[in-house]
């Protein structure tokens, strides 16, 4: 089977779909891998790293797409990439169709593309195996980002996250006790911040309480508690998401107005639309803006800050599925692997994911 790895073209995206180690595994399984020139450079992987393990370097995105049965990307394709699609091929990437431009779905339809979205590959127990390491990584970055934004030179409140004797630590409020929220809570707590986490599921909060031996405060997420928690937070971190759907808006503009000036709101759910009414996407060059006196950080691709680690994390997670598809073919893999089947948003040009279809007010066109 032929795999293609195009260079990411979205601004300020430094990750790559496959690392040399992943390419090596596919080559050893007797597949061909075509890597666009410089695709891995920004993540610290050079063309000769791919060539050493048997990858073939191609000199345009058109060729990387054109030779591939399966295209392995990081972010969803941009409009300039639509013309590279080859009829009937499969694309692995983050897709976020619920908040993407409608012309992406139309291009998938026109080219009979099968689009498998990393963010909706979901096991029966609710685990998102490809999204999980990315969430772990983002959670680890959370206090680094917050700590910088809290500094006076960046317009923040000038509060040290962990405090010192006689001076209290920052109050950090996290929405969502999934993998991302859990790792963010762990990272903030290990620094000594005062952490409160909210989730609508009591079981999730019980897990947090057991995991951290009561060191992290927990609250059921309801309008009363959300309003209360936002009002006392120095840092709010939004981590809530529903696979395949738009993120729920938990924080209204009125709630943001109750925060003390120069507090920080980090919306990690922005790639799914964001959890705050005042959130809109930013980028790594201009990552923040001030609204209602609050510093907002709404970068959709935070893991690219550590592109090498993030590329390894992504490749490690999706490689087993690529190897299985290469071994038995896509059709059999979809029959045998339920979580992979759940990842299919579009199948041969037809909308296949119930959650995505519901958000887009469309009907599921094919059932897998």
**Domain locations in the chain?**
2-120+306-359, 132-300
The pLDDT tens digits for 177-204 are 999 999 999 999 999 999 999 999 999 9
Q: What is the mean pLDDT of the chain?
A: 96
| Strands across the sheet containing 2-5 | 56-58, 32-36, 2-5, 70-72, 90-93, 114-117, 344-347, 350-351
| CATH of segment(s) 132-300 | 3.40.50.720
Mapped onto helix, strand or coil, the DSSP state of residue 280 is: coil
In 3D space, the residue among 284, 251, 285 whose CA is nearest the CA of residue 267 turns out to be 251
pLDDT band, very low/low/confident/very high, at 215 (cuts 50, 70, 90): very high
CA angle 243, 299, 186 (to 5 degrees): 70
Tokens encoding 133: 């390491």
DSSP state of 251: B
Catalytic residue IDs: 96, 271
Handedness of CA 305, 311, 312, 316 (dihedral sign): positive
pLDDT tens per residue, range 277-311: 999 999 999 999 999 999 999 999 999 999 999 99
Q: Would the pTM of this model clear 0.85, i.e. be above it?
A: yes
Q: Packing angle between helix 131-149 and helix 307-328, nearest 10 degrees?
A: 170
Cα separation, 2 vs 33, in Å, equals: 6
245 confidence band (pLDDT: 50, 70, 90) = confident
Q: What is the pLDDT at residue 243?
A: 83
Distance set, CA 343 to CA 87, 204, 310 (Å): 20, 24, 20
In this predicted structure, the answer to whether residue 244 has a pLDDT above a threshold of 90 is no
DSSP-assigned letter for residue 26: H
Identical fold between 2-120+306-359 and 132-300:
yes
Give 334's contacts (C-beta < 8 A, 6+ positions apart). Answer: 340, 341, 344, 368
The CATH fold assigned to 2-120+306-359 is Rossmann fold (3.40.50)
As a whole number of angstroms, the distance between CA 241 and CA 271 comes to 10
């Amino acid at each position: 089977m032929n795999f293609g790895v195009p260079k990411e073209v979205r601004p300020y995206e430094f990750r790559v779909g496959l690392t040399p180690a992943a390419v090596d595994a596919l080559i050893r399984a007797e597949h061909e891998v075509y890597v666009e020139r410089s695709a891995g450079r920004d993540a610290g992987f050079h063309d000769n790293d791919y060539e050493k393990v048997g990858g073939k370097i191609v000199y345009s995105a058109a060729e990387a797409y054109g030779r591939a049965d399966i295209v392995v990307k990081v972010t969803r394709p941009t409009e300039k990439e639509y013309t590279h699609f080859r009829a009937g091929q499969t694309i692995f990437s983050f897709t976020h169709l619920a908040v993407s431009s409608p012309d992406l779905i139309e291009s998938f339809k026109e080219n009979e593309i099968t689009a498998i979205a990393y963010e909706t590959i979901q096991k029966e127990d609710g685990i998102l195996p490809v999204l999980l390491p990315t969430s772990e990584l983002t959670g680890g970055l959370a206090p680094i980002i917050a700590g910088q934004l809290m500094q006076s030179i960046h317009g923040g409140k000038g509060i040290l996250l962990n405090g010192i004797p006689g001076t209290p630590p920052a109050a950090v409020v996290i929405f969502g006790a999934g993998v991302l929220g859990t790792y963010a809570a762990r990272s903030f707590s290990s620094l000594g911040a005062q952490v409160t986490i909210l989730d609508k599921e009591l079981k999730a909060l019980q897990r947090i309480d057991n995991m951290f031996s009561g060191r992290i405060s927990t609250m059921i997420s309801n309008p009363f508690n959300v309003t209360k928690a936002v009002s006392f937070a120095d840092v709010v971190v939004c981590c809530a998401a529903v696979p395949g759907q738009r993120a729920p808006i938990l924080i209204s503009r009125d709630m943001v107005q109750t925060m003390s000036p120069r507090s920080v709101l980090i919306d990690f759910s922005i790639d799914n639309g964001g959890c705050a009414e005042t959130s809109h996407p930013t980028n790594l060059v201009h990552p923040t803006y001030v609204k209602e006196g609050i510093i907002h950080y709404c970068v959709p691709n935070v893991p690219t800050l550590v592109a090498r680690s993030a590329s390894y994390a992504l490749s490690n997670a999706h490689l087993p599925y690529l190897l299985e598809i290469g071994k038995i073919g896509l059709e059999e893999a979809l029959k045998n692997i339920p979580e992979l089947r759940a990842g299919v948003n579009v199948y041969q040009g037809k909308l296949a994911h119930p959650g995505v279809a519901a958000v887009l007010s469309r009907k599921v066109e094919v059932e897998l």
